[in-house]
């Protein structure tokens, strides 16, 4: 590792390419921590948003008008407002009126941290889109399939869990994939409330080292790689779930 660090120091001296995240232990640790936070935000938000989408799509078919109206209202609010505004609303709006607690340093802080607010906001934002994505998949399942399940004695929840949702998921996976990719990229907005994700720590590094072009190139490559990994996973999942007549299996 020392040889690698020394090579990058010489690279900086000879070419001006200043990759402090390689040869400086402090910057390297900061950057690794930021990448870890980005991955954490992405994974947790993706999982929660998928759950929100599945539950919301089921609730849209509720016989209760109030439930359907609540879900539709949720979708309209979170789909029609910018995600940055939503993050500010939760952190600076709701966060200011919630009770405060004393931390280990004796300071009064918000009961919900900036990281938690970022996860909540990103999950609800992506979840609103996922509700519509799952709904489109459910509507693409033939009505006769639902009727057959009901004839076998399945309850409304049983039909959804065992018949509709598995088939709808196969149909809507391409659209879901696109939304989850967008969610991963949207995690950069957590920078605005000082969540130490990749963009936030990169800005700290380039402020200290004056290597803006280098760090922006690193960030570009980082997110290209992260999105590529997510797309690869989603495509593998799509192929694993493929059955004749639904989703990817429909084309075979």
CA distances from 178 to 116, 148, 224 (A): 24, 32, 14
Residue 74: name the closest of 136, 131, 135, 134 by CA.
Answer: 131
Q: What is the pLDDT of residue 252?
A: 46
Q: What is the pLDDT of residue 8?
A: 73
Q: What is the DSSP string of 217-229?
A: HHHHHHHHHHHHH
Is residue 249 included in any domain, yes or no?
no
Q: Domain range holding 169? A: 2-241
Distance CA 26, CA 43 (A): 26
The pTM score is: 0.89
The residues pairing with 243 across neighbouring beta strands, listed in sequence order, are: 246
> Hey, what are 146's tokens?
């639902």
Q: What is the CATH number of the domain that holds 54?
A: 1.10.3720.10
pLDDT (tens place) for every residue of the chain, 252 residues total: 677 778 778 877 788 788 888 888 899 999 999 999 999 999 999 999 999 999 999 999 888 999 999 999 999 999 999 999 999 999 999 988 888 888 777 888 888 999 999 999 999 999 999 999 999 999 888 888 888 988 988 888 889 888 888 888 888 988 999 999 999 999 999 999 999 999 999 999 999 888 899 999 999 999 999 999 999 999 998 888 877 665 555 554
Number of structural domains, the chain? Answer: 1
Is residue 199 included in any domain, yes or no?
yes
Neighbours of 219 (CB within 10 A): 18
Is residue 19 included in any domain, yes or no?
yes
* DSSP letter, residue 164: I
């Amino acid at each position: 590792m020392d040889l690698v660090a020394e090579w990058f120091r010489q690279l900086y001296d000879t070419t001006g390419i200043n990759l402090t995240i390689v040869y400086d232990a402090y910057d390297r640790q900061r950057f690794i921590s930021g990448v870890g936070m980005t991955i954490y935000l992405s994974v947790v938000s993706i999982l929660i948003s998928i759950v929100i989408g599945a539950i919301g799509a089921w609730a849209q078919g509720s016989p209760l008008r109030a439930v359907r109206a609540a879900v539709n209202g949720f979708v309209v609010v979170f789909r029609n407002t910018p995600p940055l505004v939503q993050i500010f609303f939760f952190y600076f709006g709701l966060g200011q009126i919630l009770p405060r607690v004393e931390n280990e340093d004796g300071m009064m802080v918000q009961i919900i941290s900036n990281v938690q607010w970022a996860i909540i906001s990103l999950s609800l934002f992506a979840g609103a889109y996922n509700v519509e994505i799952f709904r489109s998949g459910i509507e693409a399942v033939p009505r006769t399939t639902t009727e057959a399940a009901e004839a076998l004695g399945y309850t409304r929840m049983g039909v959804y869990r065992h018949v509709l949702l598995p088939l709808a998921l196969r149909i809507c996976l391409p659209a879901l994939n696109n939304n989850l990719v967008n969610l991963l990229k949207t995690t950069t907005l957590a920078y605005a409330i000082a969540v130490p994700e990749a963009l936030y720590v990169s800005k700290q590094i380039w402020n200290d080292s004056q290597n803006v072009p280098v760090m922006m190139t690193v960030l570009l490559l980082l997110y290209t790689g992260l999105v590529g990994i997510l797309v690869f996973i989603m495509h593998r999942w799509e192929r694993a779930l493929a059955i004749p007549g639904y989703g990817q299996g429909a084309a075979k």
